[in-house]
Amino acid sequence: MDWAVVGLGNPGESYARTRHNMGYMALDVLSEEEGISFSQKKFDARIGRGILSGKDVLLVKPETYMNRSGFAVVRFANFYRLDLGRMIVVHDDIDLPLGDVRVKAGGGSAGHRGIESIIGETGRADFIRVRIGIGRPGDGTAVERYVLRRFSEDEMPVATAAAERAAGAVKDVLASGPQRAMNRVNVRSHKN
Protein backbone atom coordinates (compact mmCIF):
# COMPACT_ATOMS: atom_id res chain seq x y z
CA MET A 1 0.00 0.00 0.00
CA ASP A 2 1.53 3.28 -1.17
CA TRP A 3 -0.81 5.92 0.31
CA ALA A 4 -3.79 6.41 2.60
CA VAL A 5 -6.53 8.96 1.96
CA VAL A 6 -8.53 9.75 5.10
CA GLY A 7 -11.86 11.54 4.88
CA LEU A 8 -12.98 13.09 8.15
CA GLY A 9 -16.59 13.12 9.27
CA ASN A 10 -19.11 11.68 11.69
CA PRO A 11 -20.79 8.30 11.08
CA GLY A 12 -24.53 7.81 10.79
CA GLU A 13 -27.43 9.19 8.78
CA SER A 14 -28.06 12.05 11.20
CA TYR A 15 -24.68 13.56 10.21
CA ALA A 16 -24.95 12.93 6.45
CA ARG A 17 -24.71 16.07 4.32
CA THR A 18 -23.54 18.20 7.26
CA ARG A 19 -20.66 20.65 6.95
CA HIS A 20 -18.38 18.54 9.15
CA ASN A 21 -18.78 15.59 6.74
CA MET A 22 -17.09 17.15 3.70
CA GLY A 23 -14.23 14.65 4.05
CA TYR A 24 -16.66 11.74 3.84
CA MET A 25 -18.38 13.37 0.84
CA ALA A 26 -15.07 13.68 -1.06
CA LEU A 27 -14.18 10.04 -0.34
CA ASP A 28 -17.61 8.98 -1.55
CA VAL A 29 -16.82 10.75 -4.85
CA LEU A 30 -13.48 8.91 -5.12
CA SER A 31 -15.17 5.62 -4.25
CA GLU A 32 -17.80 6.10 -6.94
CA GLU A 33 -15.46 7.42 -9.64
CA GLU A 34 -12.81 4.75 -9.10
CA GLY A 35 -15.01 1.78 -8.16
CA ILE A 36 -13.45 1.37 -4.72
CA SER A 37 -15.99 0.11 -2.18
CA PHE A 38 -15.68 0.55 1.57
CA SER A 39 -15.82 -3.21 1.99
CA GLN A 40 -13.87 -3.54 5.24
CA LYS A 41 -14.75 -2.34 8.71
CA LYS A 42 -11.75 -2.42 11.01
CA PHE A 43 -9.61 -0.10 13.12
CA ASP A 44 -12.81 1.84 13.96
CA ALA A 45 -13.07 2.83 10.29
CA ARG A 46 -14.61 1.92 6.96
CA ILE A 47 -11.82 1.05 4.54
CA GLY A 48 -11.58 0.51 0.80
CA ARG A 49 -8.48 -0.40 -1.17
CA GLY A 50 -7.79 0.26 -4.82
CA ILE A 51 -5.67 2.05 -7.40
CA LEU A 52 -5.79 5.86 -7.69
CA SER A 53 -3.51 7.73 -10.09
CA GLY A 54 -1.45 4.54 -10.45
CA LYS A 55 -0.89 4.21 -6.68
CA ASP A 56 -2.10 1.45 -4.33
CA VAL A 57 -4.30 3.44 -1.96
CA LEU A 58 -6.42 2.91 1.14
CA LEU A 59 -9.53 5.07 1.41
CA VAL A 60 -10.37 5.47 5.10
CA LYS A 61 -13.43 6.93 6.83
CA PRO A 62 -12.84 6.92 10.60
CA GLU A 63 -16.01 6.11 12.54
CA THR A 64 -14.76 7.33 15.91
CA TYR A 65 -16.53 10.70 15.46
CA MET A 66 -14.61 13.78 14.40
CA ASN A 67 -12.98 14.71 17.71
CA ARG A 68 -11.46 11.23 18.06
CA SER A 69 -10.34 10.70 14.44
CA GLY A 70 -6.74 10.18 15.53
CA PHE A 71 -7.65 6.96 17.38
CA ALA A 72 -8.62 5.27 14.11
CA VAL A 73 -5.75 6.82 12.15
CA VAL A 74 -3.05 5.67 14.55
CA ARG A 75 -4.45 2.11 14.56
CA PHE A 76 -4.46 1.61 10.78
CA ALA A 77 -1.21 3.57 10.33
CA ASN A 78 0.57 1.28 12.80
CA PHE A 79 -0.93 -1.87 11.28
CA TYR A 80 0.10 -0.93 7.72
CA ARG A 81 3.37 0.71 8.85
CA LEU A 82 2.26 3.82 6.98
CA ASP A 83 4.65 6.75 6.67
CA LEU A 84 2.35 9.64 7.64
CA GLY A 85 4.04 11.79 5.00
CA ARG A 86 2.11 9.56 2.57
CA MET A 87 -1.28 10.25 4.09
CA ILE A 88 -3.79 12.75 2.72
CA VAL A 89 -6.47 13.95 5.13
CA VAL A 90 -9.57 15.51 3.55
CA HIS A 91 -11.59 17.76 5.86
CA ASP A 92 -13.90 20.74 6.19
CA ASP A 93 -12.42 24.18 6.91
CA ILE A 94 -14.38 27.14 8.30
CA ASP A 95 -11.58 29.53 7.35
CA LEU A 96 -12.24 29.01 3.64
CA PRO A 97 -15.36 30.27 1.84
CA LEU A 98 -17.98 27.65 1.04
CA GLY A 99 -16.83 25.69 -2.00
CA ASP A 100 -13.13 26.63 -2.00
CA VAL A 101 -10.61 23.76 -2.00
CA ARG A 102 -6.97 24.04 -0.95
CA VAL A 103 -4.06 21.61 -0.61
CA LYS A 104 -1.65 22.04 2.29
CA ALA A 105 1.39 20.05 3.40
CA GLY A 106 1.87 19.86 7.16
CA GLY A 107 1.18 22.63 9.67
CA GLY A 108 -0.99 23.00 12.73
CA SER A 109 -4.63 22.15 13.28
CA ALA A 110 -6.06 25.70 12.97
CA GLY A 111 -8.49 24.62 15.68
CA HIS A 112 -9.96 21.71 13.70
CA ARG A 113 -10.68 19.02 16.27
CA GLY A 114 -10.25 16.10 13.86
CA ILE A 115 -6.82 17.35 12.78
CA GLU A 116 -5.92 18.05 16.43
CA SER A 117 -6.82 14.46 17.29
CA ILE A 118 -4.67 13.04 14.46
CA ILE A 119 -1.67 15.19 15.45
CA GLY A 120 -2.16 14.32 19.13
CA GLU A 121 -2.44 10.57 18.59
CA THR A 122 0.29 10.16 15.95
CA GLY A 123 2.68 12.83 17.21
CA ARG A 124 3.06 13.96 13.59
CA ALA A 125 1.74 16.94 11.65
CA ASP A 126 3.55 16.44 8.34
CA PHE A 127 0.65 14.76 6.53
CA ILE A 128 -1.01 16.40 3.53
CA ARG A 129 -4.41 18.04 3.89
CA VAL A 130 -7.09 18.75 1.32
CA ARG A 131 -9.19 21.46 2.92
CA ILE A 132 -12.77 22.08 1.78
CA GLY A 133 -14.29 25.44 2.63
CA ILE A 134 -17.58 25.54 4.52
CA GLY A 135 -17.44 29.24 5.47
CA ARG A 136 -18.08 30.74 8.88
CA PRO A 137 -21.49 31.16 10.45
CA GLY A 138 -22.75 34.65 9.70
CA ASP A 139 -25.64 34.59 12.13
CA GLY A 140 -23.83 34.31 15.46
CA THR A 141 -24.25 30.51 15.65
CA ALA A 142 -21.56 28.77 17.69
CA VAL A 143 -19.01 27.02 15.47
CA GLU A 144 -19.70 23.67 17.21
CA ARG A 145 -23.37 23.86 16.15
CA TYR A 146 -22.67 25.36 12.73
CA VAL A 147 -20.40 22.51 11.56
CA LEU A 148 -23.13 19.97 12.40
CA ARG A 149 -25.77 21.78 10.32
CA ARG A 150 -26.87 20.27 7.04
CA PHE A 151 -26.25 22.26 3.90
CA SER A 152 -29.25 24.24 2.69
CA GLU A 153 -30.87 23.42 -0.66
CA ASP A 154 -28.99 26.37 -2.21
CA GLU A 155 -25.66 25.36 -0.66
CA MET A 156 -25.81 21.66 -1.54
CA PRO A 157 -24.78 22.02 -5.23
CA VAL A 158 -21.78 24.14 -4.16
CA ALA A 159 -20.81 21.56 -1.51
CA THR A 160 -21.19 18.70 -3.99
CA ALA A 161 -19.00 20.48 -6.55
CA ALA A 162 -16.41 21.16 -3.83
CA ALA A 163 -16.36 17.45 -2.87
CA GLU A 164 -15.73 16.63 -6.54
CA ARG A 165 -12.90 19.19 -6.75
CA ALA A 166 -11.40 17.82 -3.52
CA ALA A 167 -11.45 14.32 -5.02
CA GLY A 168 -9.62 15.75 -8.04
CA ALA A 169 -7.10 17.43 -5.72
CA VAL A 170 -6.40 14.07 -4.04
CA LYS A 171 -5.70 12.56 -7.46
CA ASP A 172 -3.43 15.53 -8.28
CA VAL A 173 -1.39 14.94 -5.11
CA LEU A 174 -1.06 11.24 -5.90
CA ALA A 175 -0.16 11.83 -9.55
CA SER A 176 2.34 14.67 -9.23
CA GLY A 177 3.05 15.35 -5.54
CA PRO A 178 1.77 17.93 -3.08
CA GLN A 179 3.72 20.93 -4.38
CA ARG A 180 2.48 20.64 -7.95
CA ALA A 181 -1.03 19.94 -6.67
CA MET A 182 -0.86 23.09 -4.52
CA ASN A 183 0.32 25.12 -7.52
CA ARG A 184 -2.66 23.92 -9.55
CA VAL A 185 -5.44 23.67 -6.95
CA ASN A 186 -4.71 26.63 -4.68
CA VAL A 187 -4.89 29.24 -7.43
CA ARG A 188 -8.39 28.25 -8.51
CA SER A 189 -11.50 29.55 -6.85
CA HIS A 190 -14.87 27.76 -6.89
CA LYS A 191 -16.13 30.70 -8.95
CA ASN A 192 -13.75 29.87 -11.82
Catalytically annotated residues: 20
CA dist 118 and 116 (Å) reads 6
Q: What is the DSSP string of 118-164?
A: HHHHHS---SEEEEEE----SSS--HHHHTTSBPPTTTHHHHHHHHH
Q: Which residue stretches of the chain are H helix? A: 22-34, 69-80, 113-122, 143-146, 156-176, 178-185
